[in-house]
Every structure is written in C-alpha cells, then in structure tokens.
Amino acid sequence: MFWLVDSFEAIRDFMSLGGPVLRAIAVTIFLMWVLIVERIMFFRSSMKSMSRQIHDQWESRSERRSWAAHQIRELMISRFDAASSKGINLIQTLVALCPLLGLLGTVTGMISVFQVMAVSGSGNVRAMAAGVSQATVPTMAGMVGALSGVLLVTLLSRKAAREVEFLEDSLTMDH
C-alpha cells in the first residue's frame, strides 16, 4: 500500500515540477493511449468478426460479376476500411501535438526564468531553477509521449491497411 502512496506523491511532484503545460501534455498522452488501446482491442476482436461477416455476405450472393455487384463489393470494402481506420488520424494528431505542447512548456518556462532575472538579477540561481525545470520537463514529457505513440500508430495504420487489402483480395468476382 505504501508503494501506491509513494507513486502518487512522485507523480504529483513531477507534475508540479513541470508547470501547467505538463498537465495538458499528460491529458494528451492519456487520451492518445486510450485510443491506441481501443484500436488494439478492435483489431483483436471486432475486426475479425466484421471481416468474416462481410466475406460470408459476399459469398452468399448468387451474382458477383455485374456493375451493381462490383459497387456493392466496393461499398463493403469501404465500410470495412472506415471501421478499421477509425480514430487513427486522431491518434496521429495527438502524437504530433505532444512535442508542440512540450515546446509551449519550454517557452513558458523560459519566460518564468526571464521574469526572475528581471526582478532579482542573474545572481539568484535558486529562483531561476523553478523556471528552468518548467522549461525542460514539459519538453522531455512531450517527446516521450510522441515517441511512445509514433511506433504504435504506425503499426496500427499498417495493420488496418493490411486487413483491408486482405479483405479486398478475398472477395472474389467470379460467378
């Protein structure tokens, strides 16, 4: 139980060290990971059943060679593509937003340092340290958040494209 309290205290101290921009970065990273986990769960469960259902629907058709059948096939593939790619653009946006928020934290932290220097001069190193931490911690957090999301969003988008391509290849046009 003490480890849990210690963990919360460490997170609280870290969040206060980085200033208000770090809270925005934390919310962005949390939202990004919620969406990533949702996509992973979709790929492991709903996507397979959806693909099977579309495949069975197509195979149960008696006629598959006409223009109308071709349009129905394209509609099925398009719906599957939309379902498999849902949320990936938002995840990519959140990944790109993390370093920008880190840069915002850098700027606000440096403004704090310059305010201390203007009021007390450059000799008060202790007063400038809070501004320096507000400048560096959000930058690091933004980069870590972006790096953690870049790999997974790339894997998710490739998986979605691969599954759409597999479905497209499996829906034959014979009969």
pLDDT at residue 14 greater than cutoff 60 = yes
Task: List, in order, residues 6 or more apart from 173 with CB less than 8 Å away.
Answer: 64, 65, 69, 70, 73
Other CB atoms within 10 A of residue 49 CB: 9
Percent of the chain with pLDDT over 90: 61
Mean pLDDT, the chain, whole residue set: 89
Alpha-carbon distance of 16 to 19, in angstroms, equals 5
For residue 175, the model assigns a pLDDT of: 55
Structural domain spans, the chain: 17-170
pLDDT higher than 90, residue 161: yes
pLDDT digits (tens, 9 = 90+) for 40-75: 999 999 999 999 999 999 988 888 888 999 999 999
- pTM confidence score: 0.83
Q: What percent of the chain has pLDDT over 70?
A: 98
Residues 73-124 have pLDDT tens digits of 999 999 999 999 999 999 999 999 999 999 999 998 888 888 878 887 766 7
